[in-house]
């Protein structure tokens, strides 16, 4: 078994009001009153829910992360939120380079700048990569995800290894119910890890799988040697289901 501590993060995407976030925390804490020893738990509400959810969690062993940040510390960037602003809500990290943000125009260069800005502001980073169905069918998966990882880590070196995680999320598996098979997810997560070598300590960095992870398939995915947890979308909105996924990641 790997010595890397798994991370299970719930990406709520554009879901949950503040009241719904509070209700989620209440229900989740009932499911797992002590947290889950051996697993780091994160929840990623929309910006509007960061402070509320952080406050509702209090001393509970789970952290709050945002779904992105802007790379500039402040200024004329209507609609954007800086790393320091996220940090000031009580959040401890951020997802970066999610395919839904890349589809909305986030480039590799923007992602790299945001990785650096987040780390400099003291945030933990979950850096995402993933290929489209066309790319997988054309045999381009490894080259594509490796390029995304190398680009995102461009300004990063070994001392940041424990402050970030990589997430492999095949675009064709996100929100579709089509999970990558555990073997397929393992193969690409190993390639993602290998791509990080030279920038950070690849043997130590946590690599998460995301894309239609649910309470039924989580255990098989988490059992793979290069999968150190999950980035969970739809299934994370249900506190009981998310708790089952967290348990499945326990060593
Ligand atoms: P689903 O779990 O809904 O497929 O979403 C995955 C994802 O994009 C998490 O960031």
Residue 46 counted as domain residue: yes
Nearest by Cα to 233 from 206, 209, 250: 209
- Residue 77 within a domain: yes
Q: Is residue 47 part of a domain?
A: yes
Residue of 210, 236, 244, 245 with the most ligand 1 atoms within 8 Å of its CB, for mutation: 210
Assess if residue 1 is contained within a domain: no
Q: Is 2 a member of any domain?
A: no
pLDDT at 179: 84
Alpha-helical regions (H) of the chain: 18-31, 50-57, 83-88, 99-103, 108-120, 133-137, 141-152, 182-196, 218-222, 239-248
Distance separating alpha carbons of residues 93 and 236, to the nearest angstrom: 17
Q: What residue owns the CA closest to ligand 1's atom 1?
A: 233
- pLDDT (average), residues 94-108: 97
SS3 160: helix
Candidate from 174, 217, 221 with most ligand 1 atoms within 8 A of CB, to mutate: 174
Q: Is 233 in the pocket of ligand 1 (CB under 6 A)?
A: yes
Q: What is the pLDDT of residues 121-156, one digit of tens each?
A: 999 999 999 999 999 999 999 999 999 999 999 999
Q: Is the Cβ–Cβ distance between 84 and 121 less than 8 Å?
A: yes
Establish whether residue 234 lines the binding site of ligand 1, counting it when its CB lies within 6 angstroms of any ligand atom: yes
Domain count across the chain: 1
19 found inside a domain: yes
Q: Could you report the per-residue pLDDT of 61-75, keeping only the tens digit for each?
A: 999 999 999 999 999
pLDDT tens per residue, range 78-91 = 999 999 999 999 99
Return the CATH number at 74. 3.20.20.70
Domain containing 196: what range?
Answer: 7-248
């Amino acid at each position: 078994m790997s010595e890397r501590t798994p991370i299970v993060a719930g990406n709520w995407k554009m879901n949950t009001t503040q009241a719904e976030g509070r209700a989620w925390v209440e229900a989740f804490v009932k499911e797992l009153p002590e947290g889950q020893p051996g697993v780091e738990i994160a929840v990623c509400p929309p910006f509007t829910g960061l402070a509320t959810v952080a406050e509702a969690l209090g001393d509970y062993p789970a952290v709050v992360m945002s779904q992105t940040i802007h790379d500039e510390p402040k200024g004329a960037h209507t609609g954007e939120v800086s790393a320091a602003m996220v940090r000031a809500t009580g959040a401890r990290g951020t997802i970066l380079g999610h395919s839904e943000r890349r589809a909305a125009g986030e480039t590799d260069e923007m992602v790299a700048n945001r990785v650096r800005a987040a780390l400099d502001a003291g945030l933990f980073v979950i850096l995402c990569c993933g290929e489209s169905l066309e790319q997988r069918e054309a045999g381009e998966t490894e080259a594509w995800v490796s390029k995304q990882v190398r680009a995102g880590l461009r300004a990063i070196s070994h001392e940041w290894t424990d402050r970030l995680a990589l997430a492999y999320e095949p675009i064709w598996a996100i929100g579709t119910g089509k999970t990558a098979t555990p073997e397929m997810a393992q193969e690409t997560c190993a390639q993602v890890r290998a791509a990080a070598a030279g920038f950070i300590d690849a043997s130590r960095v946590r690599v998460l799988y995301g894309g239609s992870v649910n309470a039924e398939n989580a255990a098989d995915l988490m059992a793979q040697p290069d999968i150190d947890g999950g980035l969970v979308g739809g299934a994370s909105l249900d506190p009981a289901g998310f708790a089952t996924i967290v348990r499945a990641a326990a060593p």
